Amino acid sequence: FPSHDKGGWDGEATFWSKLNVEQQHVGLQLADAVKCGRHRITLTDHLHIGELCQQTLQQGTRWNFIVNNQTLIGLGIDVVDLGLSTTPTVEIAVTAEKADGGIILTASHNPKEWNALKLLNEKGEFIDAAAGAQVLALAQREDLQFVGVDKLGKISTGDYLNYHIELVKKYPWVDAQLIATRKFKVVVDAINSTGAIYVPALLKALGVEDIIVLNADVNGRFAHNPGPLPEHLRELSAEVDIVTGK
């Protein structure tokens, strides 16, 4: 993994045990990076496996995705929970919220067992090698200090889907009216992840009305390996052939 990806453990038991420790030190690293004001962090989950966490941890209510919000607020950090989102959307949300950083749970284009914490700085950019080394150093120290009850962070929710789409439409090189005149027909393979939410919404905003979404059940259980390799694109290719009459 690059320096901004923390995680990707093979085997569920190890994954669950290490994730809670890792998030604590991610929170500490972010809190230590900003010495004044109330710390704020944006948080999202691409894969929607809160249900699995719920079963594993035997929680009575929906766990706020895998990165435990309660741990972060216990460190005195305010959390903006973005729910199901995309990596670039979270990057935008970090700066819009004036947050001190962001945490994205995603396996990127890898199989779901490679879930990891993708970390952003206050600019909405991936943390560099030096910041990544700081997180790892904190994890090795295991020196956690939670705040008192009067200084606990707060959890709020945010939805940046439409905000992100509007930014795309305002980009100088994007001409939604011209795109609409082309009458495109688009096939999207969302592999049961958040692309099923974001890609059709973006296409519709750009004037594309004829959209076919494959594997649109957003449950985090990938329909197939998401890597863009020929063997993983057969269903998508077959649908495109049907649409184009090939």
Q: Specify whether 193 is catalytic.
A: no
Q: Of 85, 108, 193, 237, which is the active-site residue?
A: 108
Long-range contacts of 148-154 (CB under 8 A, 24+ apart): 151/76, 152/73, 152/74, 152/76, 153/38, 153/39, 153/72, 153/73, 153/74, 153/75, 153/76, 153/77, 153/78, 153/79, 154/73, 154/78, 154/79
Decide if 94 contacts 42 (C-beta within 8 A).
yes
Cα(210)–Cα(199) distance, integer angstroms: 13
Q: Which two tokens stand for residue 204?
A: 């519709």
Which of the residues are catalytic?
108
